[in-house]
Amino acid sequence: MDINNLTGLIIETCIKVHTTIGPGCFERVYEEILYYELLKKEIPVQRQLLMPIRYETLYIPHAYKLDLLIDNQLIVELKSIDCILPVHFKQLTTHLKLMDLRYGMLLNFKVNLMKEGVHRVFDNYAKRI
């Protein structure tokens, strides 16, 4: 799926979820509902994906976890916090780099309007297009 269509679909789905249940739940609730909604739309999605890291000769099999990997091209990091910090963007950028992916979204559901909680993140150095 085209990345612009995919991110548009994610934003629409998040707005639907946020409008329905509001900003007061834990991250895992939004993750579960977003996962459910994407499966209903037949969008390939994996959640709580444990990923490895190689560092020199060291291999760490479960070094980090992705909230959602959508269509093998978009990493989605979900939050339900008062304020997004620069480290949250860095975390997602690190995940993109480690996965060699270009596109990510940082979604914070603890906002008045969902559009305030949508942030796109890009890794311009990823080998994939």
What pLDDT, on a 0 to 100 scale, did the predictor assign at position 125? 76
Q: How confident is the model at residue 128 (pLDDT cuts 50, 70, 90)?
A: low
Alpha helices in the chain (DSSP H): 3-21, 27-40, 86-99
Q: What is the fold of 3-122?
A: Trna Endonuclease; Chain: A, domain 1 (3.40.1350)
Instruction: Identify the three-state secondary structure at position 122.
Output: strand
Tokens of 29: 């609730």
Amino acid letter, residue 96: L
- CA nearest neighbour of 18 among 100, 97, 116, 87: 116
* 129 pLDDT more than 60: no
Domain boundaries, the chain: 3-122
Task: Give the tens place of pLDDT for each residue, 63-97.
Answer: 999 999 999 999 999 999 999 999 999 999 999 99
